Amino acid sequence: MDDPFLVRLPTGDDLFEAITRVFRERSVRKATFTVIGATSRAVLGYYDQDVKEYRMKAFDVPQEIVACMGNVSEKDGEVFVHAHIVLADEDYACVAGHLMLGTVIFAAELSATPVPGPVPVRVFDETTRLALWSQSS
């Protein structure tokens, strides 16, 4: 089994892509992780359960990554990252949501814990119209 690991993510990179790249490069397909640091801009998602689509909102201000947590599994044969994030602005006010592409790293530290055993696979779920795990493992 892979040991837990810590990685600094590059300034200026897209946060979602940088997290995904770390797990793909290490061939880690099942893990949990957290990230702390700061963003220079962010895009958050909110899943509208009636419309069954993500709404997105951009925050074009520097913010602290108070908490970003997520998991790694498999979708369409690829390593797939799912992450949520809480951000604080200069007034210490927080916003939070599903981490979307378009979030730019100012500084970020990833702490990852690979999990042994069968890899959960995401499949389309008709009820929620989300790609959910077909079973727990």
Which parts of this chain interact with Zn ion (CB under 5 A)?
98
Cβ-in-10-Å burial (0-12, 13-18, 19+) of 49 comes to exposed
The smaller minimum CB distance to Zn ion, of residues 47 and 59, is found at 47
Q: Which one, 70 or 114, has the nearer CB to Zn ion? A: 70
Q: Cβ 82 to Zn ion, closest distance in Å?
A: 6
Residue nearest Zn ion, Cβ-based: 98
- 22 vs 81 by CB, closer to Zn ion: 81
**Distance of closest approach, residue 121 Cβ to Zn ion, in angstroms:** 17
For residues 97, 49, 100, 135, the Cα torsion angle rounded to the nearest 10 degrees is 100
Q: CB of 79 within 8 A of CB of 20? A: yes
The identity of residue 134, as a single letter, is: S
The distance of closest approach from Cβ of residue 84 to Zn ion in the complex, given in angstroms and rounded to an integer, is: 6
